[in-house]
Amino acid sequence: MTDAVTGNASRRRRKEARPQELTAAALALFVEKGFAATRLDEIAARAGVSKGTLYLYFDSKEALFKAVIQEGVVPAIEAGEALLDAHDDPVVLLRAILLGWWERIGNTELGGIPKLMMSEARNFPEVAVFYDQAVIQRGLGLVRAAISRGIARGVFRAVDLDTIGPVLIAPLLHLALWRHSYASCCGRDTNVERYLQTCLDVTLNGLLRTPPNSGDIQ
């Protein structure tokens, strides 16, 4: 009786885990092959389920992509938004936001999504609009909020808030794009620690009203 109960519980856990297994398989294949080239039967096979089982949870590839974003990227943005209440110092806040993006997205398999979107957005406008609203605009809003706080407190000099977000995010996006393109085939990778330190040094020294001595930003 105990074995039967244990077996039933195991099957229930397996069924409950399937949506997460499917989104994990979808993310891996989207990053490896691209959105257009990935087939639903490949996702099902990677997850170890039948295509029919996949359709119990997701009715299309677009639905799977949205679930990948909701489960993986959106929580990372929410963690960044929580930093607005966790840090009073604008410099510490901005540093935590930028490094947090790299740790939670750029340095993970999710870091392949920006490359995917840049290459395929035009062919999948519905997916692109969803990604823009759920990720890009929300992320840019977070950066603007951090910069606005620094300006209001006299720590940062006045800058164009409409353009500062893309400018600050661009170096991190470049690093993620590099790691999912040239670095995978050219036999070399960027020294991430040095790259991020240089990025923060240039960013923060450029924003501060009174830049510190060279090397003071750690």
Q: What is the CATH number of the domain that holds 38?
A: 1.10.10.60
Q: Are residues 28 and 78 in the same domain?
A: no
Tokens linked to 152: 């209001």
Q: Are residues 99 and 197 in the same domain?
A: yes
CA pair distance 209, 187, nearest whole angstrom: 41
Report the share of the chain in percent with pLDDT over 70: 86
16 pLDDT higher than 60? no
On whether both 130 and 179 belong to a single domain, the answer is yes
| Same domain, residue pair 77 and 38 | no
Residues 146 and 212 in one domain: yes
* Domains identified in the chain, total number: 2
Examine the fold and report which residue of 59, 76, 102 is the final residue of a domain before the chain moves on.
59
Residues 84 and 169 placed together within one structural domain of the fold: yes
Question: pTM for the full model?
Answer: 0.82
Q: Per the structure block, which two tokens stand in for 33?
A: 């092959």
Question: Token pair for residue 26?
Answer: 């979808």
For residues 142, 146, 152 and 157, what is the CA-based torsion angle, rounded to 10 degrees? Answer: -120
136 and 155 in a common domain? yes
Q: What is the rounded CA–CA span in Å between residue 140 and residue 136?
A: 6
Specify burial of residue 101 (Cβ count, 10 A radius: 0-12, 13-18, 19+).
Answer: buried
Q: 116-151: buried (b, 16+ CB within 10 Å) or exposed (e) per residue?
A: bbeebeeebeebbebbeebbbebbbebbbbbbebbb
**How many percent of the chain have pLDDT more than 90?**
75
Residue 151, pLDDT above cutoff 60: yes
- If asked whether residues 152 and 216 sit together in one domain, one would say yes
Interval 48-97: pLDDT, tens? 999 999 999 999 999 999 999 999 999 999 999 999 999 999 999 999 99
Q: Please give the residue range of the domain that contains residue 166.
A: 61-218
Domain shared by 65 and 25, yes or no: no
